[in-house]
Amino acid sequence: MDKEIKNLLGKLCVDLGFCLPPIEQDRIASLGVWRADEFAKDVISSEGLNPEYEKKWFREIRNRFVAHFGSNVYESKNS
């Protein structure tokens, strides 16, 4: 489970209200390699929303991923 991904998920909860259930946080944090687009889709889907219709949220979450990691891709140091 990646601490940096969990940290970002916590910020998304506080800042945007995307407070995922612990089981979803653990699932996402256990992937090992993340891409900004897939991460944003996962977060939105885990909230029960359709990422295809939530373009504003998709862009916001994706942009926060890139700002947090400085890249479109992040690989866990634990992998």
How many domains does the structure of the chain reveal? 1
Range of the domain at 57: 3-75
- pTM for the predicted model, two decimal places: 0.93
DSSP characters for 26-79? HHHHTSSEEEHHHHHHHHHHHTT--TTT-HHHHHHHHHHHHHHHSSSEEE-TT-
Question: Using one digit for the tens of pLDDT, what is the confidence trace for 47-57?
Answer: 999 999 999 99
Give the side-chain half-sphere CA count within 13 A for 29. 17
pLDDT at 40 over 80: yes
